[in-house]
Amino acid sequence: MGLGGCIILIAVGAILTFATDWDMQGVNLDLVGVIFMIVGLIGVATFSSIARRRRVVMPPTTPVVEERPHTHTRDGYHNGYGA
């Protein structure tokens, strides 16, 4: 579940808890709304923790060195075209 899904869970939970007055036999909609909000908050915390961990970039431990083949002309000078 992504960040959008977590935010939707929080919104639906808040709507069920604070904005409805439905009565369903055997189901407490206030409790269901609170559970949705808690699950959404846990999802947001997990998502942000994972996203923060992915952003950390470690510098390379050894320098990267590019080697180019040495090409020389007949007179011993490099002309840049490999001839």
15-37 average pLDDT score: 92
| CA 39 to chain centroid | 18
Q: Please write the tens of the pLDDT for every residue from 28-80.
A: 999 999 999 999 999 999 998 887 777 666 666 776 667 766 665 565 555 55
What are the residue ranges spanned by the domains of the chain?
A: 26-54
Residue 10 in this model has a pLDDT that exceeds 70: yes
11-34 average pLDDT score: 92
* CA dist., res. 44 & res. 28, Å (int): 25
Neighbours of 6 (CB within 10 A): 20
Q: pTM for this structure?
A: 0.61
Within 19-75, residue ranges assigned H as helices are: 29-55
